[in-house]
């Protein structure tokens, strides 16, 4: 069974631009969560989706948004990029909430 | 705010030794804990989990111990191998219906041949 797939793997953007990251969960998994990983802040929770509904949101500004589609694939969007948004963005999927979360390899975003 | 923290940022061991990575958590409402391993350039890889109704759980070469009295979690790796070298994170899921994980800062495990 294929693991969590995140695309693209690497992105370079400039300040002010927007970006969309994609996540395909493990087949059959309906819960998708997003995390931001930086050297200074570690792994921080962004969003959690289940059955196309955002169930929980972390402490991030409104520039960070996301959605989940009927096939459980998820996207997250960051608008008006700032230098501090440079990070590894990780997606994790699980069968259902409070089950084991399996992570993708992440998307490395660099904002110049 | 409440968070999951790690006592040792770096742990260096010899191949064949047993390794113990510790984690302190502050939220007594947390009911689910997971250990992840992250190698350079990769996403976190699930190692083992434990729910708050258990004190100990064993996997292949790994054991997780949970002490709810002192809010402490540990990961024991038996016969550590060079391939175990990575950053290890503990994560807690608070007593809610959500999947949200709160991660510790991580411990780097270095295994020398």
What does the pLDDT look like over A35-90, one tens digit per residue? 999 988 899 999 999 999 999 999 999 999 999 999 999 999 999 999 999 999 99
Strand bridging mode B30-38 / B19-25? unpaired
Q: How far apart are CA A89 and CA A7, in angstroms?
A: 10
pLDDT at A22: 98
Tell me whether residues A98 and B32 touch, CB distance under 8 A: yes
Residue A100 has its nearest CB partner, among B41, B49, B89, at B49
For A31, nearest residue in chain B (alpha carbons): B99
pLDDT at B98: 84
For B92, nearest residue in chain A (alpha carbons): A98
pLDDT at B7: 45
pLDDT at B4: 52
CA angle in degrees (0–180, nearest 5) for B9-B29-B37:
35
Give the helix, strand, coil percentages of chain B, each rounded to 5: 5, 55, 40
A36 closest CA partner among B94, B101, B29, B9? B101
Please tell me whether the peptide bond between A13 and the residue prior to it is cis, using omega within 30 degrees of 0: no
Along the 113 residues of chain B, how does pLDDT read in single tens digits? 344 543 448 999 999 999 999 999 878 889 999 999 999 989 999 999 999 999 999 999 999 999 999 999 999 999 999 999 999 999 999 867 888 999 998 999 999 99
Q: Which residues contact B45 (CB under 8 A, 6 or more apart)?
A: A103, B36, B37, B38, B39
Tell me whether residues B105 and A42 touch, CB distance under 8 A: yes
Residue A102 has its nearest CB partner, among B41, B46, B105, at B46
Tell me whether residues B99 and A90 touch, CB distance under 8 A: no
B93 closest CA partner among B62, B51, B36, B43? B51
Tell me whether residues A97 and B45 touch, CB distance under 8 A: no
Residue A98 has its nearest CB partner, among B45, B97, B104, at B97
Q: Is residue A34's pLDDT more than 60?
A: yes
Written in H, E and C, the secondary structure of A52-68 is CEEEEECCCCCCEEEEE
* Cβ–Cβ < 8 Å for B29, B37: no
- Chain B positions in Cβ-Cβ contact with residue A94 (cut-off 8 Å): 99
């Amino acid at each position: 069974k294929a693991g969590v797939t995140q695309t693209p793997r690497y992105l370079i953007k400039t300040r002010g631009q927007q970006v969309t990251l994609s996540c395909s969960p493990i087949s059959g998994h309906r819960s998708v969560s997003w995390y931001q990983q930086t050297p200074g802040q570690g792994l921080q929770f962004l969003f959690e989706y289940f059955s196309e509904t955002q169930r929980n949101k972390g402490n991030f500004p409104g520039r960070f948004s996301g959605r989940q589609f009927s096939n459980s694939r998820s996207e997250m969007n960051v608008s008006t990029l700032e230098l501090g948004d440079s990070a590894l963005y990780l997606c994790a999927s699980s069968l259902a909430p409070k089950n084991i979360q399996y992570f993708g390899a992440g998307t490395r975003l660099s904002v110049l | 705010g409440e968070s999951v923290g790690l006592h040792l940022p770096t742990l260096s061991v010899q191949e064949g030794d047993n390794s113990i990575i510790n984690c302190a958590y502050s939220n007594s409402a947390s009911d689910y804990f997971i250990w992840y391993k992250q190698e350079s350039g990769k996403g976190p890889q699930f190692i083992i989990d434990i729910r708050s109704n258990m004190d100990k759980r064993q996997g292949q070469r790994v054991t997780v111990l949970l002490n709810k009295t002192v809010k402490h979690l540990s990961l024991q790796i038996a016969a550590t191998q060079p391939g175990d070298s990575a950053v290890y994170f503990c994560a807690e899921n608070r007593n809610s219906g959500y999947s949200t994980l709160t991660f510790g800062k991580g411990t780097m495990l270095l295994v020398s041949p």
